Amino acid sequence: MTPVLEVTDLNVSFGDVLAVRGVGYSVRQGEVLGIVGESGSGKSVTSAAVMGLLPPGAKVTGSVRLHGRELIGARQRELTAFRGKTMSMVFQDPLSALTPVYRVGDQIAEAVRIHQKVTKEQAAVKAVELLDLVGIPNPAERALAFPHEFSGGMRQRAVIAMAIANDPDVIICDEPTTALDVTIQAQVLEVLKKAQRETGAAIVMITHDLGVVAGFADRVLVMYAGRPVEVGDVDDIYYGPRMPYTVGLLSSIPRVDRDGRQPLVPIEGAPPSPAALPPGCPFAPRCPMRVDACDAAEPPLFDVGPAHRAACIRWEEVRPRAAARHAVPVHLGELRPRQDRQVVLEVDGLVKQYPLLRGSVFKRRVGTVHAVAGVSFDVREGETLGLVGESGCGKTTTLMEILELTEPQEGRIVVLGHDTARLGGTDRMAIRRDMQVVFQDPLASLDPRMTVYDILAEPLRAHGRGNPGMRVAELLDLVGLDASHAARYPQEFSGGQRQRIGIARALALEPRLLALDEPVSALDVSIQAGVINLLDALKTELGLSYLFVAHDLAVVRYIADRVAVMYLGRIAEIGQVDAVYGAPAHPYTQALLSAIPLPDPVRERSRRRILLEGDLPSPADPPSGCRFRTRCPKFRAALTDDERALCVTVEPSVRLLDRDQGAACHYAEKLKVT
Amino acid sequence: MTLLTAHRAPSRLRVVAWRFFQSAQGRIGFAVLVLLFLLAFAGPGFSLWSYTDKDFTAFLSPPSAEHWFGTLQTGADVYAVTLRGMRKSLIVGLLAALVSTALAAVVGAFAGYFPGWPDRVLTWGTDLLLVLPAFLVLAVMSPLFGAGQWVLFVIMLALFLWMVTSKIVRGMTISLKQREFIQAARFMGVSPVRIIFRHIIPNLSSLLIVDATLNVSAAILTETSLSYFGFGIQPPDVSFGTLIADGSRTAIYAPWTFWFVAGLLVITVLAVNLIGDALRDAFDPASQRPR
Amino acid sequence: MAGFLARRLLNYLVLVAVAASLAYMLAASALDPRSNYADRTPKPPPAVVDAQLTELNLNDRTPLLQRYATWAGGVVQGDFGRTVTGSPVNEDLKRRMGVTFRLVLLGLICGSLLGVVVGAAAAVKQYGWFDRLSTGLSFLVLAMPVVVLANVLILLGTLANERLGHRLFLVSGEYSDGLDTGFWGSVGDRLRHLILPTISLSLGLIAIFSRYQRNTMLDVLGADFVRTAMAKGLSRSQALIHHALRTALIPVATYFAFTFGALLTGATFTEKIFGWHGLGEQLINSIFTNDVNTVAAIACIAAIAVLCASLAADLLHAALDPRVRAG
Ligand SMILES: Nc1ncnc2c1ncn2[C@@H]1O[C@H](COP(=O)(O)OP(=O)(O)OP(=O)(O)O)[C@@H](O)[C@H]1O
Ligand code: SF4
Ligand code: SF4
Ligand SMILES: [Mg+2]
């Protein structure tokens, strides 16, 4: 079968920086190619180059053939005829991918009308069909909605609907699920699989998550420093990698199915900047197997097996899970028993409500958003509490309420022994020094107009530490950045590097309690592992306590001692990490855990998921009784009508099931899911 | 590890200045403005005539070696009075813009940052000034700007220039306040006033700078219009406005009385606007301008 | 909703009242109607002057607050008092309002529409010839005060008329007196009077709006949704026009209200220089004639106009942005 899309020797440069070097791949009809690589490895640039959507400053050479037709150098008119018809694209950020001022249905209909000679009405009907296909409930009604009325998952579905509107032969998905929650990710991946079945299209699936492609892709291409370094069938790549980088990636992934606390094996260092590549193998500075010959020339792709190629001169010696040569942080055994340790943070019955306003010209209050509806937990010295849940479940609000250091609307917050309701200015300032925060969005949390130096020096200056120069260099070193980076602006860093700056800033004052809001969700696995290890090491070294907010349960399993799972403003399940992950008792926790993709193709293909239906209900109008009942698989399938009545009428509160595991479900039952 | 480089705090000012002078616009605007200043302050020294002299042998005479820009109906040397007028207009414009932009930034940022009564009070005051017709108030007050009272004039001018910017600043402050880097600073213990001056105002710098330049033009232009109708700079002081008013009456048959002043006025404002534009690009780390 | 609207209107009412009062106080204390009588020949006796001034509520010997109270009492009943010559202010201004309204509306429509179009066209090909040209021209226009622009237009118009050998551009008044050319003739005459003042008023607006539109458009140019639109198969310029232009209009709409005050001032100068008998011309005249009541009345009208514009901008904003409209 001839390939639908064939890319050979693609090079992209911005000015004199080569962002993509010699990328080549081909996909056949119905095939799924996964492109995996770290941030800045050139995945997005490659796909933009294939689509011809690069910014004007970029220079592209090489060949992109779609059904044998050369696209590089083709005229704009020809390209626009292909785009959206033969070849379409799904972007990473569904929040900004739709034009805010047009109705979703109209935007999908537009995609139809560009390439098909149909009337407005026919296109509108088609748009509704497409929305139905991608699983939007009440499609006819929802087609009239504006993008801001859609949740992230729904917007991504709409974008997918747009991409499959004209029955394309190739769909390029650039991290289509990265911005989504796991349960939604599972739904969207199902939608993509369905779309592929419907259209028979080839899919190029770009991702940094080795789990996402494991169960989905047929072939995998691993990119590093703008170049493919290994390509092969999915099983070969996962079970018999021949490139130390792939091996490193696989062993740095936190896995939700691994018992016990095994330290992750990060890849040392950071990817090279495309402007300053090392002379030989670009991976050499980070490679545990490097020999002098590696620096001689950039290794070509060697044939290492049937349809399996790797760019390493020592490929014959490479084995999966190469022994860790890296320093692994020593875990200082168990601390004193939990009840003997000091409570550094106590939250009791916390409630936070926002007025729900409508309209900005004629603003008026139309309801109340119950963002946090009675949450209680505590964090003791030297421990990490992971607060997990889907976006919108109130975990960030909880964190913010704590950080505000003011009296909550209801309930009580005690930070480092001080009740926030009775806090003077000096005490508050002292707590601000001892409690620091790391934010989710690495770019938004750094002032774009300050150099890294100023950003890192700010907390030092605010608390009167003079001459921050030395400390700034130390901090940059601590988080794996070069001290010379201090002169640059945040925009000039990759997503991962930006977050390191954010972490460095939080560590500047050597705090006691660190509140981390999704601190590693934007990082690549290899770096993530390093940061998790770093945070872990810092915790033991400095006696820190963490409140670790995340949506990634796998990460939480590695970093946290205890975990609290939130749903719609309340805690669904809380307890000791191994207990909760080993045998979750709340149906929501069970669904969450089963939605997490594993970087293990065989298990992924055979696994049965508990798929949740629909989206999170609006926190302005939570369901009566148990908040989870609208999506609860147990409520839907396993309970009798009498049992259901209890779920509908009585809101369950956290009930202790074990020594340190509690669940807010009337019918909680431990179940092994991973 | 290159510790040395990290010790030297890289100053934002230097980066911005470097980028500013990289652009042709910035270089031209800056050079022209410097030249204009030199002309306004040192230029009169090169001429034999001072702005108070009258040449009773030449009324309304065209440009010549004697009178470079010609003379007015009164026999005054156009070159001398134009430079004199330019000096006043430059000072008035720059000062008024500076005052008004600073006012706009501070009032807007405080109103946006502190919701509740500070916001309500500041916004109401802004609205009131916005509703009062500025031209009318300035015109009515013109008798107060008699000889030597131009500083009062500058302040009144500035008082009517800042409101729009301030409203925009307020709106942007409200949205900036939700941004994580502001939250981060807040939770770090940085004081609100410091946040306003370190984060909010610098992040609005491109807006403020563009607006400051627009305000320089606005101030010079308003001054010109007011003086044109006799409501601004009062005799014996001269400014662009008073000169243009005189010149426009004789423009048809003695073009030099109008075009030199009008031309210099346009060049002045143009130079200021060029500088503003180049500064915006220099401040904005995301802008990539072909050089 | 209704309560909100009422609160807002009340706030507007207060603003107008305070603004008009301030304007009255300022005018009453700074202007000196008595000096109007100083250079009359023969000089009227002081008692007569006093009586006349008192009659018109302009006597500076009456305490300011008392005069204000009298004035305010009239205004509440819709009577702005009388001019220095004794005729009612209301009637005079009613006539003039139409003239000014026509000029301002036309200038506003031309200015904002053309400005948006020019700005959008410039942004589509950033650094192309049109962008450079329009940028250069708008810089030039922005560097020109209305008084200079109007005078330059008059000079150019006169020059053009000479060249053409017939008077295409009429530079004084709204229409020619005693013209007898039938309906179409008089429409043509009015149009020829309208051209230059409209240009003088809208050029500045075009320059401002095109700059704003260009910049907001460049901001959304790199936005993801523009890329999505292109991935759908729209060409770059189609994506920009259908998606970027529309989205970039939203912030520009808010500038609409802000430019309105400047527009009124511009109209004042334009009227005065082109000899239109509108409010602006009367404003300048009334300051010269120390006509306190007219000044205060015009201030009041201007305040109301500015607030109406701001309300209109809000409605426009809501109409353009579904995120704001959401109800
Ligand atoms: N417009 C541009 N101008 C200059 N350099 C660019 C531009 N776009 C991307 N680059 C550079 O090209 C390289 C590859 O970037 P690309 O966005 O393809 O990475 P990626 O693998 O998609 O990363 P991520 O996982 O973060 O999305 C990076 O070094 C980046 O800085
Ligand atoms: S070529 Fe050398 S440095 Fe590169 S991956 Fe192979 S062993 Fe490592
Ligand atoms: S209480 Fe009922 S609805 Fe809620 S989680 Fe348990 S079984 Fe499901
Ligand atoms: Mg990418």
Q: Are C195 and C169 in contact (CB under 8 A)?
A: yes
Distance from the A460 Cα atom to the nearest Cα atom in chain B, whole angstroms:
9
Considering the domain boundaries, does residue A328 fall inside one?
Answer: no
Write out the H or E segment, with its range, that includes residue C201: helix C182-221
Output the pLDDT for position A360: 57
Q: Could you say which residues from 27 to 66 on chain B have a Cβ atom under 8 Å away from some Cβ of chain C?
A: none
Diameter of chain B measured on Cα atoms: 78
Considering the domain boundaries, does residue A322 fall inside one?
Answer: no
CB contact, 8 Å: C25 with chain B?
Answer: no
Domains of chain B by residue range: 33-42+68-283
Q: Are A356 and C326 in contact (CB under 8 A)?
A: no
pLDDT in tens, A411-454: 999 998 889 888 888 888 888 888 988 887 777 788 877 888 88
Same domain, residue pair A524 and A589: no
| 3-state DSSP of C127-168 | CCHHHHHHHHHHHHHHCCCHHHHHHHHHHHHHHHHHHHCCCC
Sheet with A364-380, side-by-side order of all strands: A364-380, A343-358, A410-415, A418-419
Residues of A whose CB is below 8 A from C322: 100-101, 146, 148
Q: How much distance in Å is there from the Cα of A204 to the middle of ligand 1? A: 18
Low-confidence ranges of chain A (pLDDT < 70): 1, 258-262, 321-335, 358-364, 494-496, 674
**Cα B162 to Cα A419: distance, rounded to the nearest angstrom:** 44
Please judge whether C142 and B214 are an interchain contact, meaning their C-beta atoms are less than 8 angstroms apart.
yes
A281 lines ligand 2 (CB under 6 A): yes
| For ligand 1, atom 29: residue with the closest CA | A40
Same domain, residue pair A281 and A383: no
A665 lines ligand 3 (CB under 6 A): yes
CA B213 to chain CA centroid, Å, is 5
Q: Could you say which residues from 68 to 107 on chain B have a Cβ atom under 8 Å away from some Cβ of chain C?
A: none
**Cα C120 to Cα C130: distance, rounded to the nearest angstrom:** 11
Residues of C whose CB is below 8 A from A91: 224, 227-228, 231
Q: How much distance in Å is there from the Cα of A35 to the middle of ligand 4? A: 11
The CATH number given to whatever domain includes residue A41 is: 3.40.50.300
Residue B168 three-state SS:
helix
Closest partner CB to A462 (pick from B7, B189, B203): B189
Distance from the A516 Cα atom to the nearest Cα atom in chain B, whole angstroms:
11
Same domain, residue pair A635 and A599: yes
pLDDT in tens, B38-49: 888 887 777 777
Please judge whether C295 and B140 are an interchain contact, meaning their C-beta atoms are less than 8 angstroms apart.
yes
Sheet with A570-576, side-by-side order of all strands: A435-438, A513-517, A545-550, A384-388, A562-567, A570-576, A661-663, A655-658
Considering the domain boundaries, does residue A416 fall inside one?
Answer: yes
- Cβ pairs bridging B and C (under 8 Å): 122
Same domain, residue pair A23 and A152: yes
A565 lines ligand 3 (CB under 6 A): no
Picking from C131, C142, C154, C215 by the largest number of B CB atoms within 10 A of its own CB, the best residue to mutate is C142
Considering the domain boundaries, does residue A654 fall inside one?
Answer: yes
Distance from the B221 Cα atom to the nearest Cα atom in chain C, whole angstroms:
5
Closest C-alpha among A335, A372, A334 to residue A350: A372
Residues of A whose CB is below 8 A from B200: none
What letter would DSSP give residue A264? P
A219 lines ligand 2 (CB under 6 A): no
Output the pLDDT for position B104: 92
**Cα A227 to Cα A233: distance, rounded to the nearest angstrom:** 18
Print the domain residue range for A465. 338-567
Residues of C whose CB is below 8 A from A358: 326-327
What letter would DSSP give residue A45? H
Q: How much distance in Å is there from the Cα of A90 to the middle of ligand 4? A: 12
A571 lines ligand 3 (CB under 6 A): no
Considering the domain boundaries, does residue A326 fall inside one?
Answer: no
Question: Per-residue pLDDT for chain C (327 aa), expressed as one digit of tens each?
Answer: 566 678 888 888 898 999 989 988 888 888 888 887 777 777 788 888 888 888 888 887 888 888 888 888 888 888 888 888 878 888 888 888 888 888 888 888 888 899 999 998 888 887 889 988 998 888 888 888 888 888 888 888 888 888 887 777 777 777 766 666 777 777 777 788 888 888 888 898 898 889 888 888 888 877 888 888 988 888 888 888 888 888 888 888 877 776 777 788 888 888 888 888 888 888 888 888 888 888 889 888 888 888 888 888 888 888 888 877 654
Considering the domain boundaries, does residue A222 fall inside one?
Answer: no
Residues of B whose CB is below 8 A from C18: 128
pLDDT over 60 at B6, yes or no: no
Q: Domain boundary residue among A217, A248, A277?
A: A217
What letter would DSSP give residue A516? E
Enumerate the β-bridge partners of residue A27: A5
- CA of C247: which chain A residue's CA is closest? A101
CB contact, 8 Å: B91 with chain A?
Answer: no
Q: Are A173 and A89 in contact (CB under 8 A)?
A: yes
Global pTM value: 0.78
pLDDT over 90 at B108, yes or no: yes
Closest C-alpha among A399, A386, A401, A504 to residue A446: A504
Same domain, residue pair A50 and A186: yes
Distance from the C134 Cα atom to the nearest Cα atom in chain A, whole angstroms:
22
A131 lines ligand 3 (CB under 6 A): no
Same domain, residue pair A361 and A409: yes
Strands A661-663, A308-310: pairing is: unpaired
Closest C-alpha among A510, A571, A539, A558 to residue A380: A539
Q: Which chains touch C (3 or more CB pairs under 8 A)?
A: A, B
**Cα C131 to Cα A526: distance, rounded to the nearest angstrom:** 46
- CA of C269: which chain B residue's CA is closest? B225
Same domain, residue pair A513 and A615: no
Same domain, residue pair A349 and A311: no
Mean pLDDT of B257-281: 84
A634 lines ligand 3 (CB under 6 A): yes
Helix runs in A134-201, H state only: 139-142, 152-163, 182-199
Q: Are B62 and B70 in contact (CB under 8 A)?
A: yes
Considering the domain boundaries, does residue A145 fall inside one?
Answer: yes
What crossing angle do the helices spanning C89-124 and C182-221 adopt, rounded to 10°?
50
* Predicted-complex ipTM score: 0.78
| CATH of the domain spanning B33-42+68-283 | 1.10.3720.10
Helix runs in A217-299, H state only: 234-239, 244-252
Ligand 4 ion: Cβ-proximal residues, 5 Å cutoff? A 44
Q: Could you say which residues from 201 to 230 on chain B have a Cβ atom under 8 Å away from some Cβ of chain A?
A: 202-203, 205
* For the CA of A284, the nearest atom of ligand 2: 3
Could you tell which of A45, A60, A90, A492 is best to mutate to test the pocket of ligand 1, judged by most ligand atoms within 8 Å of the CB? A45
Residues of B whose CB is below 8 A from C272: 229
Q: Could you say which residues from 179 to 218 on chain C have a Cβ atom under 8 Å away from some Cβ of chain B?
A: none
Token representation of residue A538: 């810092």
Ligand nearest to the CA of A48: 1
* For the CA of A299, the nearest atom of ligand 2: 1
**Cα A84 to Cα A97: distance, rounded to the nearest angstrom:** 14
Q: Which chains touch B (3 or more CB pairs under 8 A)?
A: A, C
Distance from the A340 Cα atom to the nearest Cα atom in chain B, whole angstroms:
29
Sequence letter at residue A192: L
pLDDT in tens, A275-292: 888 888 999 988 888 899
CA B88 to chain CA centroid, Å, is 12
CA separation (Å) from A478 to A249, A510, B275? 22, 12, 42
Same domain, residue pair A519 and A650: no
Distance from the A165 Cα atom to the nearest Cα atom in chain C, whole angstroms:
9
Residue A418 three-state SS:
strand
CB contact, 8 Å: C30 with chain B?
Answer: yes
Mean pLDDT of B244-248: 83
| For ligand 3, atom 5: residue with the closest CA | A665
Q: Using alpha carbons only, how large is chain A's radius of gyration in Å?
A: 25
Enumerate the β-bridge partners of residue A173: A90, A205
Ligand nearest to the CA of A650: 3
Ligand nearest to the CA of A632: 3
- CA of C138: which chain B residue's CA is closest? B270
CB contact, 8 Å: B152 with chain C?
Answer: no
Phi, psi of C107 (to 5 degrees): -60, -40
Closest C-alpha among A446, A472, A27 to residue A206: A27
Same domain, residue pair A439 and A547: yes
Sheet with A87-90, side-by-side order of all strands: A87-90, A170-174, A202-207, A32-37, A219-224, A227-233, A308-310, A302-305
Token representation of residue A633: 């698989």
| For ligand 1, atom 24: residue with the closest CA | A39
Total domains in chain A come to 4
Could you tell which of A570, A647, A669 is best to mutate to test the pocket of ligand 3, judged by most ligand atoms within 8 Å of the CB? A647
Q: Are B154 and A427 in contact (CB under 8 A)?
A: no
Q: Are A559 and A548 in contact (CB under 8 A)?
A: yes
Same domain, residue pair A183 and A85: yes
Strands A87-90, A69-70: pairing is: unpaired
Q: Are B242 and B85 in contact (CB under 8 A)?
A: yes
Please judge whether A459 and B183 are an interchain contact, meaning their C-beta atoms are less than 8 angstroms apart.
no
Name all residues whose Cβ lies below 6 A of ligand 1: A 14, 17, 19, 37, 39-45, 55, 208, 274, 494-495
A666 lines ligand 3 (CB under 6 A): yes
Same domain, residue pair A582 and A562: no
